[in-house]
Structure 1
Amino acid sequence: MIRSVARGVLALFYLAAGVIHLIKPAPFLTIMPACVPFPEQVVLWTGVAEILGAVGLLQPASFPLRRAAAIGLALYAICVFPANINHFIIDMARPDSGLGLSYHVPRMFAQPLLVWLALWCGGVMDWPMRRKAG
């Protein structure tokens, strides 16, 4: 029950984020590291990836797409981490500190949690809530 609710919440989160990437890409472009080629296309395709991952996560457990979506969303969370770090650096360099440490520090800790949550919600792993045998 808890995993189903968490899966639904995570899917809604990624669906909303994906839609925002598509309809309002400007904020994502401002935090994109300069070394990323074709930033507009990257933001577009990351939005598409989030939407597809959300849809895949909501598939029945017997359908292999759920596990693939979970792995994809976990990898996605890892791949966007440099943009989050870049956003942190940009904000801290501003005279007003942008969104500040109270936003960025929890966000840095949330990224590994999103990786784990995607894998757990998608049934790729059970840790740490594995049922004991016997």
Structure 2
Amino acid sequence: MRSKISLYIMAAFYVMAGINHFINPDIYTGIMPPWVPFHTELVYISGGVEVAGGLLLLPSTTRNIGAWMLIGLLLAVFPANIQMAINYYEVGHSMFWLTLVRLPFQLLLIWWAWKFTK
């Protein structure tokens, strides 16, 4: 039962986060590393992958695919999390510490998704 609750929480988290990419794309384009091209397009693509991955977690027949999609996404967006920390550091943002906490938290999210690849 606990794993079902965890699954539903994870699916809802990614679907809502993905939808937010379409509602508030500027949040995400603002943390894209400058060397990455097509910021807006990649924000929409990553949002779509989040929504799709979250939804694919729900049926047991596609759960493995959804979990691996989310793991790939988490790895792909890691440079944006680093860029966010750099941006916050450069402007002396009071929440800079939170960006540092977020970096290893990404590993926890990968582990959580990996639990559903089996």
Scaled to the shorter chain, the TM-score interval is over 0.9
Shift of 1:100: 2.1
**Alpha-carbon offset, residue 104 of structure 1:** 1.5
SS in 1 for 2:95: coil
- Cα deviation 1:1-26 (Å, max 9, x = unaligned): 22111111111110111010011100
Secondary structure of the equivalent of 2:33?
coil
Separation (CA, whole Å) in 1 of partners of 2:67 and 2:99: 25
Alpha-carbon shift at residue 98 of structure 1 (Å): 4.5
Q: What's the offset of the Cα at 1:108?
A: 1.0
Q: Distance in 1 between matches of 2:113 and 2:28?
A: 22
Query: Residue type matched to 1:111 in 2?
Result: Q
Whole-angstrom CA distance in 2 between matches of 1:32 and 1:98 = 20
Per the TM alignment, residue 105 of structure 1 is displaced from its structure 2 partner at its CA by 2.4
Over 6 Å off, 4+ runs: none
After TM superposition, the structure 1 = structure 2 runs for residues 1-134 of structure 1, keeping only pairs within 5 Å, are 1-59=1-59, 61=60, 63=61, 65-95=62-92, 97-101=93-97, 103-120=98-115, 122=116, 124-125=117-118
Structure 1 residues not aligned, in runs of 5+ = 126-134
Query: What TM-score comes out, normalization by structure 1 length?
Result: 0.84
Higher helix share: 2
Find the structure with the greater CA-based Rg. 1
Query: What SS class does the counterpart of residue 37 from structure 1 fall into?
Result: coil
TM-score (norm 2): 0.94
Separation (CA, whole Å) in 2 of partners of 1:119 and 1:57: 11
* Shift in Å, 1:35: 1.1
Structure 2 alignment gaps of length 5 or more: none
Count of matched residue positions in the alignment of Structure 1 and Structure 2: 118
Looking at structure 1, the residues matched to 94 and 11 of structure 2 have their Cα atoms a distance apart, in angstroms, of: 28
CA deviation vs aligned residue, 1:4-52 (integer Å, no higher than 9, x gap): 1111111111011101001110010010001111111000010100000
RMSD of aligned residue pairs (Cα, Å) = 1.1
Instruction: Give the Cα separation in 1 of the matches to 2:37 and 2:101.
Output: 28
